[in-house]
């Protein structure tokens, strides 16, 4: 029979179920075929709890029941024997609902309703979900093992299934239908459609070619676009699934660091299926790399990229964005490391500079010109053919530091002006040990000759006299693949220092037109040295400037970022369909924020509030999963129905949190390392006496 239900009443420990399942609904056909979807939900759970002998209670909070429709206890079919599950239906009447600001436009306050059920739950653990969810048998089997821990927030992936789950089918038939009619996957890092063999479907305009046999797994965020380039961010670990060509293949990919890895240089690793590091790179710019992938029985491999130094946050985005990949594709294993520009086109483009190089060389020393002039000319052409998108060799990794002005372009000729103590880091991967440069004195030195001095850690390692346009070289004490930080300084000028420049306040001592690999050494390292045992062959193919200088861009937020440390990125997609904690942990956080608005993002805010109250997130991996029965477009959130849902909410004048609000709350919790508590002690209508209908194991009590 119906009975009043308060918030503080709880039976003795010996009578308490192990698990409480809390969901909310009203009989209003929300989303289409509501009763059919709900019937599948309640029938499947009761049968699964019976199958695995799981002591549970199923709490349905019936909010603001429509007066012209039967109550849920009557509208749904219930088995004569509910097994180890007790069903409780708690009603929040219309008179309470009408106290809320958006009562006319919003017939159900989802998160407040769930709080009503959580507050009255009697289970040792409480799982909050929705009425169109079917649990995989693997996840119910896990729950029945009673291995749940207090102080944890449990989450899992959601698989969206087509709407026609057989309402009158057996549990096995319903589960088989869900497995065979998957529409999309809601995972930690995004929402994806799936291929026939279960891979995450690549999107139009994705960073892999169509039908390439390359798929993105866990750890990759959804595709984005910056200006004209598409890219994907990777988190701390990101899986790539590969259909390897017979005999093995060579993977080519373009990557640059993001804000998550801090200041350069940045380490990126590749791991095989056994978790062994098979390749490692030190990245200091936007870099194109190749990685030889060994063949394997069956032709399928998984490569995991890892950012061992990553995990730094940004203030206005809860994600952790360590590296962004611009292009991933297969290439021929014997493809060249870097394709130099054509000789003829290079000479034609740079002819004015090359003629001045010859002229200035002749003026400096007419006696040595017949030999030194052509040598300087061809050395300069060789280096210019290697020029990337900045002033640096396209086949070397580099990063600029202090002492440089912005890249300039005059008639297609690019260069950078330098002043004092100009620093840059460079790394060669082909055995080169000489640095070549094409430089010219600037107006701050009166265009007069000077000594260009190169130092490493304050120690002079070379100097060269620069007279007009000059090609100079320096020997570098470095090993292959080793980054070195170099300092350039002009000394001993023939003219005066710091001459004024009309209309320009900058110091323009000299300009660098190209900088990179010098004359090949007489005994270079092998072009493709054998990798260490257990490593996969890899080469650097090309570099270009990074699209964003994250250190400079985020400098105003540096203090806030430092205070955040290296926070955890939580599984937020579809989190309202599966959030499970111990009952006292729900009490500790005081449930979901009871805001008088639409429920969007409140479950995400709760996840972070729980985490920063000390509840570590535990992800239950596949095949532990939940299935969501698809509902009508715009009735609840789906990728396809997002715009329709937002238009409906806006049209009705219902307020809601937007993503920027969530990001600001997460940033605050990260900075303070403390949770946000939104509700008072009476959360979940603890003081209200609400009518409750109980279905025991054998009959409906009315």
Give kind and range of the element (H or E) at residue 619.
Answer: strand 616-620
Point out the least confidently predicted range of 58-62, 376-380, 535-539, 666-670.
Answer: 535-539
Least reliable range by pLDDT among 110-114, 125-129, 498-502: 498-502
State residue 544's pLDDT score. 81
Cα–Cα distance, 279 to 253 (Å, whole number)? 14
Reported as a single tens digit per residue, the pLDDT across 186-199 is: 999 999 999 988 89
- Higher-confidence residue: 593 or 2? 593
379-383, 517-521, 567-571, 583-587: range with lowest mean pLDDT: 517-521
Backbone angles phi, psi at 192, to 5 degrees: -135, 145
CA dist 223 and 348 (Å) reads: 40
Residue 702: per-residue pLDDT: 30
* Structure confidence at residue 698 as a pLDDT band (50, 70, 90): very low
Residues 258, 75: Cα–Cα separation, whole Å? 54
**For the segment 446-480, what is each residue's pLDDT rounded down to a tens digit?**
999 999 999 999 999 999 999 999 999 999 988 77
**Domains defined for the chain, CATH in brackets:** 3-187+570-683+690-695 (3.90.550.10), 190-337+546-564 (2.60.120), 343-526 (2.60.120.260)
- Six-digit token string for 473: 């070289």
Q: What is the DSSP letter of 633?
A: B
Which segments of 314-473 does DSSP mark as H helices, in order?
Answer: 343-364, 369-384
Q: What is the DSSP string of 584-602?
A: HHHHHHTSS---SS--TTH
pTM here is 0.82
User: Which pLDDT belongs to residue 632?
Assistant: 67
Round the average pLDDT of the chain to a whole number and report it.
90
Radius of gyration of the chain (CA): 33
pLDDT reported for residue 487: 96
Average pLDDT over residues 48-58: 97
pLDDT of residue 701: 32
Position 1 confidence tier, pLDDT thresholds 50, 70, 90 = very low
Q: 3-class secondary structure for 346-368?
A: HHHHHHHHHHHHHHHHHHHCCCC
What φ, ψ does residue 175 adopt, rounded to 5°? -65, -40
pLDDT digits (tens, 9 = 90+) for 632-681: 654 566 676 667 777 877 888 888 888 899 999 999 999 999 999 999 99
Q: Is the pLDDT of residue 243 over 80?
A: yes
Residue 421: predicted pLDDT: 93
Instruction: Produce one character per residue of 659-688: b if its CB has 16 or more CB atoms within 10 Å, e if not.
Output: eeebbebbbebbbeeebbebbeeebbbeeb
Compute the average pLDDT of residues 334-353: 85
* Parallel/antiparallel/unpaired status of strands 125-128 and 579-582: antiparallel
pLDDT number for residue 154: 98
Q: What is the mean pLDDT of residues 508-524?
A: 87
Q: What is the pLDDT of residue 696?
A: 58
pLDDT recorded at residue 197: 86
The average pLDDT across 5-30 equals: 77
Q: What is the arithmetic mean of pLDDT over 507-532?
A: 78
**Is residue 699 very low, low, confident or very high in pLDDT (cuts 50, 70, 90)?**
very low
Helices (H), 132-195: 137-144, 171-180
The whole-angstrom separation of Cα 667 and Cα 662 is 9
Which three-class secondary structure state does DSSP give residue 421? coil
What's the confidence (pLDDT) of residue 153? 98
**How confident is residue 528, by pLDDT bands cut at 50, 70 and 90?**
low
Q: Is the pLDDT of residue 390 over 90?
A: no
Judged against a pLDDT cut of 90, whether residue 147 lies above it is answered with: yes
List pLDDT tens digits, range 69-111: 999 999 999 999 999 999 999 999 999 999 999 999 999 999 9
- pLDDT at 700 (0 to 100): 35
Q: What is the pLDDT of residue 334?
A: 54
pLDDT of residue 636: 63
pLDDT above 70 for 599: yes
Give me the residues paired with residue 455 across strands.
Answer: 460, 487
Residue 484, number of CB atoms within 10 A of its CB: 17
For 35, the 3-state DSSP assignment is helix
Q: What is residue 4's predicted lDDT score, i.e. its pLDDT?
A: 61
Question: What confidence score (pLDDT) does residue 191 get?
Answer: 93
Phi, psi (deg, nearest 5) at residue 65: -60, 135
Q: Give the distance, in angstroms, between the CA of residue 464 and the centroid of all CA atoms in the same chain.
A: 47
Q: What is the pLDDT of residues 333-343, one digit of tens each?
A: 555 556 899 99
Looking at per-residue pLDDT, the higher value among 117 and 651 belongs to: 117
pLDDT score at 647: 82
Token pair listed for 162: 């087509």
């Amino acid at each position: 029979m119906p009975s009043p239900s308060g918030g503080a009443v709880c039976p003795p420990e010996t009578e308490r179920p192990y698990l409480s399942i809390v969901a909310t609904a009203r009989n209003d056909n929300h989303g289409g075929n509501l009763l059919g979807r709900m019937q599948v939900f309640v029938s499947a759970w009761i049968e699964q709890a019976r199958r695995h002998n799981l002591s549970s209670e199923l709490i349905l909070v019936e909010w603001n029941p429509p007066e012209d429709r039967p109550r849920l206890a009557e509208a749904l079919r219930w088995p004569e024997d509910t097994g180890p599950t007790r069903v409780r239906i708690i009603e929040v009447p219309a008179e309470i609902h009408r106290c809320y600001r958006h009562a006319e436009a919003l017939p159900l306050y989802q998160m407040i309703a769930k709080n009503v059920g959580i507050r009255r739950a009697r289970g040792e653990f409480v799982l909050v979900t929705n009425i169109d969810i079917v649990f995989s048998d693997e996840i119910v089997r896990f729950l029945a093992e009673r291995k749940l821990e207090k102080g944890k927030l449990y989450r899992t992936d959601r698989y969206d299934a087509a709407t026609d789950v057989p309402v009158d089918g057996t549990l096995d038939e319903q589960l088989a239908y869900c497995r065979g009619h998957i529409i999309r996957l809601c995972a930690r890092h995004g929402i994806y459609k799936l291929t026939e063999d279960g891979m995450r479907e690549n999107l139009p305009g994705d960073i892999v070619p169509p039908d390439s046999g390359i798929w993105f797994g866990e750890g990759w965020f959804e595709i984005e676009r910056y200006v004209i380039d598409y890219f994907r961010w990777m988190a701390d670990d990101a899986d790539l699934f590969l259909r390897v060509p017979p005999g093995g293949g060579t993977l080519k990919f373009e990557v640059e660091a993001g804000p998550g890895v801090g200041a350069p240089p940045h380490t990126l690793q590749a791991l095989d299926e056994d978790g062994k590091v098979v390749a490692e790179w030190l990245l200091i710019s936007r870099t194109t790399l190749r990685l030889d992938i060994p063949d394997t029985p069956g032709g399928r491999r998984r490569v995991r990229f890892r950012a061992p130094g990553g995990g730094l946050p940004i203030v206005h985005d809860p994600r952790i964005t360590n590296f962004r990949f611009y292009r991933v594709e297969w290439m021929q294993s014997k493809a060249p490391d870097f394709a130099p520009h054509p000789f003829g086109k290079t000479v034609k483009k740079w002819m004015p500079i090359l003629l001045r190089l010859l002229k200035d060389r002749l003026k400096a020393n007419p006696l040595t010109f017949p030999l030194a002039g052509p040598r300087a000319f061809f050395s300069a052409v060789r280096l210019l053919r290697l020029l990337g998108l900045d002033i640096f060799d396209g086949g070397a990794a580099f990063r600029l530091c202090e002492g440089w002005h912005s890249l300039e372009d005059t008639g297609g000729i690019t260069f950078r002006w330098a002043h004092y103590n100009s620093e840059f880091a460079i790394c060669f991967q082909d055995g080169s040990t000489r640095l070549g440069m094409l430089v010219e004195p600037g107006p701050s030195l009166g265009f007069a000759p000077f000594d260009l001095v190169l130092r490493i850690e304050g120690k002079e390692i070379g100097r060269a006299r620069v007279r007009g346009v000059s090609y100079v070289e320096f020997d570098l004490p470095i090993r292959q693949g080793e980054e070195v930080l170099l300092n350039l300084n002009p000394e001993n000028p023939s003219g005066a220092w710091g001459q004024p420049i009309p209309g320009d306040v900058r110091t323009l001592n000299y300009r660098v037109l190209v900088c990179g690999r010098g004359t090949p050494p007489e005994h270079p390292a092998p072009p493709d040295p054998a990798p260490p045992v257990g490593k996969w062959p890899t080469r650097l193919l090309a570099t270009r400037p990074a699209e964003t200088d994250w250190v400079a861009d985020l400098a105003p937020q540096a203090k806030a970022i430092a205070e955040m440390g290296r926070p955890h990125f939580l599984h937020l997609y579809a989190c309202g369909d599966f959030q499970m904690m111990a009952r006292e942990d729900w009490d500790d956080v005081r449930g979901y924020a009871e805001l008088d608005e639409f429920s969007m993002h409140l479950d995400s805010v709760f996840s972070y509030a729980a985490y920063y109250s000390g509840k570590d997130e535990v992800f239950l991996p596949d095949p532990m999963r939940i299935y969501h029965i698809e509902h009508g477009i715009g009735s609840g959130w789906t990728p396809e129905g997002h715009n329709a849902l937002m238009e409906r909410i806006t049209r009705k004048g219902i307020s809601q949190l937007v993503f920027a609000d969530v990001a600001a709350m997460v940033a605050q919790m990260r900075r303070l390392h403390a949770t946000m508590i939104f509700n008072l002690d009476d959360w979940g209508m603890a003081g209200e006496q609400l009518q409750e209908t109980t279905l025991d194991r054998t009959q409906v009590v009315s």
